[in-house]
Amino acid sequence: MMTEDKMIEKIKGKIIEIGKLLAEEDLSKKGDTVSVRLGDGILMTDPNIPLAELTDKDFKQILRGDNMSILEALHMAVLGYKKEGNAVIINQAPYCSIVTGKMDRLPAVLDDFAQIVGYSAKVSKSDNLIDILLALKKRNACLIQNGSSLAVGRTLEEAFTGVMVLEKGAKAFVESTIIGNPVKIGLFDSLLMNFIYKKKYSKKNQKNLLEQFKEKEE
Amino acid sequence: MKEKELRNLVKESGVRLVKEGLVRGTWGNVSVRFDEKSMIVTPSGLDYMSLTPEDMVLVDINTLEYAGENKPTTERKIHAAIYRERPEVNAVIHTHSPWCSSMAAARTEIPAVSESFIKSIGGEVRVAPYGLPSTSKLTNATVSAIRDRKACLMAGHGVLVCGESLEDAFQVCKILEDAAQKFISDKVSLIIGKGDVGLKEIKEAFERASEIK
């Protein structure tokens, strides 16, 4: 059976992989961070290291009660608020940044956005922690006033899909506005797709990451 | 062509679509006609880069029954309906390519911009009205919008392309994506009065277009 240290190394490896993918998709800049739930605390990447250049030394384990930076407190608070979530990605994506400066919410104009994010993604009123948590109410993703995007997932892959869909939806919204006609996905259709998506994946990924890795090993 | 060769061809097409930036992750799907009664399609929810030819699924185009452990793409109804209706079609590709997705979000046709475009695609690219994924409404709307054409946009969703071969369908995907990019870039230029279009210009055009609304 695998020791906890070895499992943490495996989780780090997975985060490094996700970081590279984000950079390949042009969805990452210096300052972006990824965290995962680890027992009572979190394991988080160093914001000074670009996600594409992460090594297994660029992680910090943070426990409840530790002294924290604002960014560390945000990751901790998001996972505290979203009990079903196990992973958080905060990144800077080009089209999401365009939307945050102009809108208070990004509506769903593509149905995969409606399915995975919901009828819309809110833009937080400020960079303040409480405002960001308010923007996440009933949602697993939001945009942050400073131009970043945030997605929570039950797995790292789900959080990664969240930031991908946010950016895809932002690009479609921005460009369909330029064309002259962004058509929102209907509220009923959005709610239905989002409900089915959540139900489909609810049983699969309820365990925390450590347990998920443990299961894979067994 | 034998089943094994076709499976390999579908797998290679998936990888090619990813490399060309026309497909990301598990989005989109590819199929080829195997014989009069069946098609070979990509499975549901699996990454193109890690797929093997054996992962592809053989599906009956009349009953939609399939063999093997992998579940075929959820869009199999649309693929099957096109093979049933269009005997000349031997390949179908569905993508969420970035520029075409913006056109699909705007539910705006891609105009036939040149003789070669008309020759390749058949005319302007119509938009199939919105339907929830995997529904008969979406299947019927898509089959109707692609009639006499090699492509149509799916409102709020993506793009569907068909061809006499996978190579033919792949080329149509590329032509469409280029046409959609040009259509949007021309709009940006028109709004801001500048020729070269990058992210900065798109941002400026978006801000101006938002103010007009």
- Closest chain A residue to the Cα of B199, Cα to Cα: A94
Distance (Å) from the alpha carbon of B186 to chain A's nearest alpha carbon: 10
Of B27, B102, B107, the CB nearest to A175: B102
Of A94, A110, A180, the CB nearest to B156: A110
Segment B146-152 mean pLDDT: 97
Report yes or no on B12 lying in a domain.
Answer: yes
Residues B33-55: tens digit of each pLDDT: 999 999 999 998 888 888 899 99
Look at chain B and report how many structural domains it folds into: 1
DSSP conformation class of A183: P
Domain around B52 = 3-178
State ipTM.
0.94
Segment A191-198 mean pLDDT: 90
The model scores a pTM over 0.90:
yes
CB contact set of A72 (below 8 Å; sequence gap of 6+): A42, A44, A60, A62
Domains and CATH numbers, chain A: 4-217 (3.40.225.10)
Question: Which chain A residues are closer than 8 Å to B28 by Cβ?
Answer: none
The answer to whether B75 is a known catalytic residue is yes
Q: Do B25 and A180 touch (CB under 8 A)?
A: no
3-state DSSP of chain B: CCHHHHHHHHHHHHHHHHHCCCCCCCCCEEEEECCCCEEEECECCCCHHHCCHHHCEEEECCCCCECCCCCECCCHHHHHHHHHHCCCCCEEEEECCHHHHHHHHHCCCECCCCHHHHHHHCCCECEECCCCCCCHHHHHHHHHHCCCCCEEEECCCEEEEEECCHHHHHHHHHHHHHHHHHHHHHHHHHHHCCCCCCHHHHHHHHHHHHHHC
B18 touches chain A (CB under 8 A): no
B156 touches chain A (CB under 8 A): yes
A20 touches chain B (CB under 8 A): no
CB pairs under 8 A between A and B: 100
Task: For residues B48 and B28, give the distance between their C-alpha atoms in angstroms, rounded to a whole number.
Answer: 10
> A123 by DSSP, 3-state: which?
strand
B130 touches chain A (CB under 8 A): yes
Q: Is the pLDDT of residue A207 over 70?
A: no
Q: Which of A4-8, A122-126, A203-207 has the highest mean pLDDT?
A: A122-126
| pLDDT band at A77; cut points 50, 70, 90 | very high
**Whole-number pLDDT of residue A206:** 47
Distance (Å) from the alpha carbon of A113 to chain B's nearest alpha carbon: 10
- Average pLDDT value over all residues in chain A: 91
Residues B91-106: tens digit of each pLDDT: 999 999 999 999 999 9
The CATH number assigned to the domain holding B146 equals 3.40.225.10
